[in-house]
Amino acid sequence: MKSILVFLWLTSYTILAQKTADIVRIEFSSLTRGYQELVVITADSLKATTPTQHKAIKNKDWTGVIKSLYGVHLNDIEGLKSPTMKRAYDGARHSTITIITKSGKYSHSFDDEDPHEKLKPLMKVIHDTKKRLTGK
């Protein structure tokens, strides 16, 4: 019984590792009337539209982004519920995190900078990396 559990755990961990290894970029977009922000993080750069900047990032930055997705199954991202729906009546910015892999896109929409609990670590890493590299 223990060997079956270990096998299942290793299989799921291997699948998760393969999925995160396939990630080529992560995008955070946020918009409302009169405001638009886009942050794109790849293995070697960060691009931000507010303010418009393009900065090189270190391998440890990219590793931190990938580690923030630990335990998140990419196929489940689109089904995650947003904590609030204020964006439906202009009560908050409409924000989206999009994870782009070699084989597809996975998106989650939410209000302001308040994604589903599973994606909060990723949102924090995106915010902190942008702030550290751009100063804003």
Assess whether pLDDT exceeds 80 at residue 99: yes
Total domains present in the chain = 1
The pLDDT value recorded for residue 115 is 97
The pLDDT value recorded for residue 17 is 46
Mean pLDDT of 98-111: 96
Assess whether pLDDT exceeds 50 at residue 89: yes
- Alpha-carbon distance of 1 to 31, in angstroms, equals 51
Domain boundaries, position 110: 2-134
- Alpha-carbon distance of 101 to 80, in angstroms, equals 18
pTM value is: 0.82
51: alpha, beta or left? (left if phi > 0; alpha if psi -120 to 50): beta
Assess whether pLDDT exceeds 90 at residue 105: yes
